[in-house]
């Protein structure tokens, strides 16, 4: 990965992902020389350094080639739109077929350019990039049925973003405040704090919009985001079970069982990888290779019992021990391993 720094307080950060290093070198030099100080240019020749750059830098715009090794441009575009949905992506390729154009725009590309048409006149693509980067937007919008709200929160927190997430549905509406990757406040018309967060996460339909961060009226949440999402999933599972099971009436008067004590847990390690075993994110893993191997094993077992080729709804496995708990989430496009221990 190659990086050139220019006047960071004025420039936009651009990431060019293309395995044609000769072209990216020429294109980068042109961008930097045409209007000095406008761009900070990062380049990557395949998906791995591109994902590293996105993890380490606040990128404003991505130019992405289609034909690349291991993970092609469409696959990388889909991954980027899941992990960084607010970053506009321009597909810039010599394979400008109608099918590739339709697939790219459907996957979330802001623009599809034919490299053979504009490579001889780089001013054309410069004008396009400048227009997209300068276009004011209120934020990224999405449908809750297309993109799960827990997924959006997870990616915003994993990337240590500071954003305001507005959620609207026919039954409710509210806001979730994320600062430096931590959920610090949530509110609905009737509740605030964790109850409001769980209420919003339970919505099955509606819209969400990611907006620039503004400080909340107060901080009401201090738990780790992963613990909050796990608790929300547990509450959802309990609510689903309640709707499908009818509790029999007691035959004799029995004392009510004591209420369960909620255990506050501390996250010890996190591993996030793609469906093909590529490491996307890790936090203090004891052995990242063994964790990925375990996720792969559980994935293969889950697939062997699945009725369809893909785990369309995902699989979740919890391993409870006296001193710790491991949660494994197996989904079509990613696998997550989280180890936690009770807080003292």
pLDDT digits (tens, 9 = 90+) for 320-340: 766 788 888 887 777 888 888
Residue partners of 37: CB distance under 8 A and separation at least 6: 6, 7, 10, 11
Confidence of residue 136 (pLDDT cuts 50, 70, 90): very low
Tally of domains in the chain:
3
- Both 290 and 325 in one domain: the answer is yes
> Residue 294 half-sphere exposure, CB side, CA atoms within 13 Å?
18
Q: What angle do CA 143, 55, 85 make, to 5 degrees?
A: 15
Mean of pLDDT values over 128-136: 67
Where are the alpha helices (H) located in 21-161, listed in sequence order? 21-34, 47-56, 73-83, 98-106, 115-118, 122-134, 149-158
Residue pair 326/341 in contact (Cβ under 8 Å)? The answer is no
Res 171: pLDDT: 78
What are the tens digits of pLDDT across the range 137-180? 445 555 555 556 787 787 778 767 788 988 888 778 899 999 98
- Both 315 and 299 in one domain: the answer is yes
Last residue of a domain, one of 117, 134, 151: 134
Given a cut of 80, is residue 253 above it in pLDDT? no
- Both 121 and 163 in one domain: the answer is no
Q: 253 lies in a domain?
A: no
- Both 198 and 302 in one domain: the answer is no
Q: 55 lies in a domain?
A: yes
- Both 129 and 146 in one domain: the answer is no
- Both 219 and 302 in one domain: the answer is no
- Both 76 and 154 in one domain: the answer is no
Mean of pLDDT values over 122-129: 77
Domain at 270, CATH number = 3.30.450.30
Q: What average pLDDT is seen over the chain?
A: 78
Residue pair 311/331 in contact (Cβ under 8 Å)? The answer is yes
Q: 88 lies in a domain?
A: yes
- Both 127 and 10 in one domain: the answer is yes
Q: Measured between alpha carbons, how far is 249 from 188 in angstroms, rounded to an integer?
A: 35
Residue pair 174/199 in contact (Cβ under 8 Å)? The answer is yes
The size of the chain, in residues, is 344
Given a cut of 90, is residue 79 above it in pLDDT? no
The segment with the largest mean pLDDT, out of 62-66, 276-280, 339-343, is: 62-66
Q: 258 lies in a domain?
A: no
Confidence of residue 313 (pLDDT cuts 50, 70, 90): very low
Domain at 6, CATH number = 3.40.50.2300
Q: Measured between alpha carbons, how far is 111 from 335 in angstroms, rounded to an integer?
A: 30
Given a cut of 70, is residue 63 above it in pLDDT? yes
Q: Which residue has the higher pLDDT, 213 or 239?
A: 213
- Both 103 and 175 in one domain: the answer is no
Find the range with the poorest average confidence among 39-48, 76-85, 177-186, 291-300.
Answer: 291-300
Last residue of a domain, one of 192, 207, 242: 242
Q: Which residue has the higher pLDDT, 205 or 20?
A: 20
Given a cut of 60, is residue 1 above it in pLDDT? no
- Both 91 and 161 in one domain: the answer is no
Last residue of a domain, one of 134, 153, 185: 134
Residue 165 to residues 16, 142, 188, 221, Cα–Cα distance (Å): 28, 11, 12, 15
CB burial of residue 83 (10 Å; 0-12, 13-18, 19+): buried
Q: Is the dihedral of CA 301, 303, 304, 307 positive or negative?
A: positive
Q: 125 lies in a domain?
A: yes
- Both 227 and 269 in one domain: the answer is no
Pairing of β 12-17 and β 61-64: parallel
pTM greater than 0.75 (yes/no): no
Q: What is the CA radius of gyration of the chain?
A: 23
- Both 217 and 296 in one domain: the answer is no
Res 191: pLDDT: 93
Q: 22 lies in a domain?
A: yes
Percentage, residues of the chain above pLDDT 90: 15
Q: What residue numbers bound the domain in which 299 lies?
A: 265-342
Residue pair 268/339 in contact (Cβ under 8 Å)? The answer is yes
Res 65: pLDDT: 92
Dihedral in degrees, nearest 10, Cα atoms 210, 215, 219, 220? -30
Q: 250 lies in a domain?
A: no
Q: Measured between alpha carbons, how far is 215 from 237 in angstroms, rounded to an integer?
A: 32
Residue partners of 161: CB distance under 8 A and separation at least 6: 178, 181
Q: 115 lies in a domain?
A: yes
Given a cut of 90, is residue 44 above it in pLDDT? yes
Res 6: pLDDT: 39
Residue pair 170/205 in contact (Cβ under 8 Å)? The answer is yes
Res 308: pLDDT: 43
Three-state secondary-structure class, residue 290: helix
Mean of pLDDT values over 102-113: 83
Find the range with the poorest average confidence among 31-40, 103-112, 253-262.
Answer: 253-262
Where is 304: in which H helix or E strand? helix 288-305
Of residues 301, 306, 295, the one with CA closest to residue 337 = 295
């Amino acid at each position: 990965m190659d990086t050139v720094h220019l006047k960071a307080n004025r420039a936009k950060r651009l990431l060019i992902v293309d395995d044609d290093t000769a072209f990216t070198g020429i294109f980068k030099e042109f961008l930097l020389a045409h209007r000095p100080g406008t761009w900070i240019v990062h380049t990557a020749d395949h998906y791995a350094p591109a994902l590293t750059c996105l993890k380490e830098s606040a990128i404003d715009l991505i130019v992405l080639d289609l034909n690349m090794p291991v993970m092609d441009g469409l696959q990388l575009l889909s991954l980027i739109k899941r992990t960084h949905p607010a970053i506009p992506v321009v597909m810039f390729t010599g394979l400008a077929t109608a099918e590739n154009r339709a697939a790219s725009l459907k996957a979330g590309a802001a623009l599809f350019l034919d490299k053979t048409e504009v490579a001889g006149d780089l001013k054309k693509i410069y004008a396009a990039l400048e227009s997209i980067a300068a276009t004011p937007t209120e934020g990224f919008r999405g449908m809750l049925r297309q993109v799960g709200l827990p997924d959006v929160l997870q990616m915003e927190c994993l990337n240590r973003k500071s954003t305001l997430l507005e959620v609207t549905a026919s039954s409710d509406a509210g806001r979730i405040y994320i600062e430096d990757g931590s959920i610090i406040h949530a509110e609905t018309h009737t509740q605030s704090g964790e109850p409001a967060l769980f209420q919003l996460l339970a919505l099955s339909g509606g819209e969400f919009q990611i907006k620039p961060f503004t400080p909340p009226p107060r901080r009401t949440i201090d738990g780790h985001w992963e613990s909050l999402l796990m608790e929300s999933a547990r509450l959802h599972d309990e609510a689903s079970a309640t709707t499908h099971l009818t509790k029999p009436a007691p035959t004799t008067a029995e004392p009510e069982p004591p209420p369960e004590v909620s255990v506050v847990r501390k996250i010890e390690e996190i591993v996030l990888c793609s469906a093909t075993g590529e490491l996307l994110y890790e936090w203090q893993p004891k052995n990242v290779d063994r964790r990925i191997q375990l996720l792969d094993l559980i994935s293969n077992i889950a697939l062997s019992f699945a009725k369809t080729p893909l785990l369309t709804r995902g699989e979740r496995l919890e391993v409870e021990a006296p001193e710790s708990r491991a949660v494994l989430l197996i989904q079509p496009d990613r696998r997550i391993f989280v180890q936690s221990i009770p807080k003292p």
